[in-house]
Amino acid sequence: MNWNLERHASLDSTNRLAYERAQEGVPAGLVVVAGEQTAGRGRRDNRWHSPGGGLWFTLLLRPPHIEGLSLVAALGVGSALSVDWQLHWPNDLYCGTRKLAGVLVESRLSGSGCEFALVGVGLNANNSDFPPELVATSLALELGHEIDLEQQLQAVLNSLSTYLDRYEREG
């Protein structure tokens, strides 16, 4: 997949902006990236803590179907990480007992199938100051050093390309 990155220092939600772009007819491959999100969210509209230092982005896809897309996306993200992780069904990645990342898939369906799908990814990368109610970790905390956000973003997008290409080919 060829990715077209749209970068923002701060957004309320990358999924919200990607949804607008999808409605405008932007083709698949758009990646909306934010340095921070002020109103990031996860499943069931839970707030997603997404300050500076993490990787917060949403992919715009136009797949033929969406069955299993959340699992495929989570595996694609996890495969790009240099830490041991476990998938917590259906959309979270954990290191031990602490949440490292989440994947939120939203879609718009029509009578003929999937109009578009949004894959929102929140990856705790260099952040370490989590609210006390969150049981979270980050790549930097797990590895003992900060990571290069741009290199990690490219690694995740490359991995996602591999997984999503296979998903579209083989279901």
pLDDT in tens, 56-112: 999 999 998 889 999 999 999 999 999 999 999 778 999 999 999 999 999 988 777
DSSP, collapsed to helix, strand or coil, labels residue 18 as helix
Largest CA distance in the chain: 50
Q: 3-state SS of the chain: helix, strand, coil percent to 5?
A: 30, 35, 35
Q: Please, are residues 99 and 134 in contact by the beta-carbon 8 Å criterion?
A: yes
Q: Please, are residues 105 and 122 in contact by the beta-carbon 8 Å criterion?
A: no
pLDDT digits (tens, 9 = 90+) for 116-154: 999 999 999 999 888 888 889 999 999 999 999 999 999
Q: Please, are residues 137 and 95 in contact by the beta-carbon 8 Å criterion?
A: yes
User: Rounded to two decimals, what is the model's pTM?
Assistant: 0.92
